[in-house]
Chain A
Amino acid sequence: MELTQAEKWMLEGREGQATRKAMEILAALGTIYGADRLLPVASVQIAGVSYDNLGEAGLEFLAEMASDGAKVKVLTTLNPAGMDIENWQVMGIDADFALNQQRVIEAYQKMGIVPTCSCTPYLFGNLPHYGEHIAWAESSAVCYANSVLGARTNREGGPSALAAALTGKTPDYGFHLTQNRYPTLTVQVQESLAGTHDFGTLGIAIGKVIEASRVKTIPYIRGIPEASMEELKSFCASIATYGGLALFHMEGITPESALFEAPGDCLTINRSDLEAADRFLNEASAIDQVDFVSLGCPHLSLQEIARVAEQLKGKKVRKTFWITTARPTKRIADQMGYTTIIEKAGAIFATDTCCVVAPIQGRFKAIATDSAKACYYAAAKNGFQTRFLPFDKVIEEALK
């Protein structure tokens, strides 16, 4: 890989040890993937924020990177933390965890990173435009940026995203190159879909087929006449979780779909495929056991919070019910009066965090949620049974 003079200096350590290490990570990645140069990036989204995920080892790595005064060179935002930064006590977080979580945030802030603590950075200020090169972590946001926005990013890991932030660069390979963005499989959807749950179900159905095929696939999805931002963010989270996908095209909806013809190979998704996908996350034994309800994976939009407030107005929830969203969205929800209605009903705002990254292993028996991604981590990481329901049904479940 050819490096510019400035990049070579970073590699030699002229900008300090953290930037040197960052450049080493990028140079190694570039060599592995056959990149011939580094590209400047417009923005970075960093994963690896919850102390529950990082552990002491991860925190030490970050503290060391932050210790020599290195600063990010481009707009850099953060993934969700393991707790509500301002209100962690209501979540049942212990004081030791809170202290360690604060140390993580401080290390990132020291490097000039904006602590948005959200998986939906595109909703508040980190919004790349069509064709822009970025280096993002967070699998659902990567899929959204590539597919829905038409920006270009590989699926960065936490450390490689940090490396891109400290250098402002990323190796030119993978999804940065036009030839790697062509669709390889047509997916014909034969059922009409509505809501986050339906779109999450479609993500499971397509994702599992692609995962089982073991072939790197970029689907070209047809048969979906319209999709809202909320439905697309749900779909992105699901297909990234179950199929490892970073890019899809959706005819008439995503910008690059207009550039390509539908490939000859075709996968059909019908009602029975969707029912099977839905059943996969709905264990019969979980029905009577739900003691935890969560909405906001990915983080809820303002419209979704408005919907929750409308459904909860004047009622009382009977289960632990988390509303997970980003701090900027929460502030507007406060102004709109939604927060008061929701909290009066007994639900809890778990801002800056979510049920995937918070330290809640074994705390509940079964979760009800509209998020296919949340179900995956609830089962694998937290040992919960899962009820995967439409948005409004999730709220009803909390009221039962």
Chain B
Amino acid sequence: MLATSMGISFYGGIDPATGRVVEKGHALEGQSIGGKILVFSTGKGSTVGSYTLYRLKKAGNAPTAILNAESETITAVGCIISGIPCVDHIPIEQITTGMLVRVKAESGIVEIL
């Protein structure tokens, strides 16, 4: 579990090979999103970001699931073509890094364990 209240730009903000957050000054700068449930407010930045998610998936460094306050198209499409579960309209302020969370993406249910 890796949580931030900030937005994420997958293109430019995340290293597509390693999954590390490289955006200057980002709350998660230096951390890897690979294999984690990634919680952030919404996607921002360049529209190439969907392919970054696809590349992360193929490289084995994609998040296990994505939880958003509000998903936008770039994140949603990246999740669709990569098969990453994604749930939005989540009160993300209730979730902090390190918490144990169960995501049932089919029903859109997220439980804090």
Contact = CB atoms under 8 A, between A and B. Distances in A.
Interface in B8-25: 9, 11-13, 16, 22-24
Interface stretch (A48-56, A261-269, A318-326, A335-343): A48-56
Question: What's the dominant secondary structure at chain A's contact region?
Answer: helix
A157 B44 contact: no
Interface in A53-71: 53-55, 57-58, 61
Contacts of A32: 71, 76
Nearest to A216: B70
A29 interface: yes
B47 A139 contact: yes
A296 interface: no
Contact of A157 (B12, B42, B50): B50
A274 to B, nearest CB: 19
A156 to B, nearest CB: 6
A32 B51 CA distance: 19
Nearest to B81: A159
Contacts of A376: 12, 45
Contacts of B97: none
A62 to B, nearest CB: 9
Interface string B56-71: 0111000000000111
Interface residues of A, number: 41
Q: Which of A47, A55, A157, A379 has the most CB of B within 10 A?
A: A157
B23 to A, nearest CB: 5
Contacts of A61: 51, 54, 81
Contact of B73 (A29, A53, A380): A29
A25 B13 contact: no
Nearest to B71: A32
A146 to B, nearest CB: 13
B101 interface: no
A116 interface: no
A400 interface: no
B45 A48 contact: no
B34 interface: no
A241 B49 CA distance: 12
Contact of A53 (B7, B9, B22, B51): B51
Contacts of A79: 48
Contact of A48 (B16, B51, B70): B51
Contacts of B76: 28-29, 32, 157
Q: Which of B42, B47, B50, B78 has the most CB of A within 10 A?
A: B47
Interface string B28-58: 0000000000000111111111111011011
B73 A211 contact: no
Contacts of A29: 73, 76-77, 80
A28 B73 CA distance: 11
Interface in A130-144: 137-139, 142
Contact of A142 (B41, B47, B55): B47
A48 to B, nearest CB: 5
B80 A214 contact: no
Contacts of A55: 16, 51, 55, 58
Given A25-B81, A214-B5, A377-B12, A137 B47 contact: yes
Contact of A211 (B44, B48, B52, B72): B44
8 closest A-B pairs (Cβ-Cβ)? A157-B50, A244-B44, A57-B58, A137-B47, A157-B77, A157-B74, A160-B77, A58-B51
Interface of B: 5-7, 9, 11-13, 16, 22-24, 41-52, 54-55, 57-59, 69-74, 76-78, 80-81
21 contacts: A29-B73, A29-B77, A48-B50, A53-B51, A53-B52, A54-B55, A57-B57, A57-B58, A58-B55, A137-B47, A138-B46, A156-B73, A157-B78, A158-B48, A158-B77, A159-B54, A159-B81, A211-B7, A216-B70, A244-B72, A380-B24
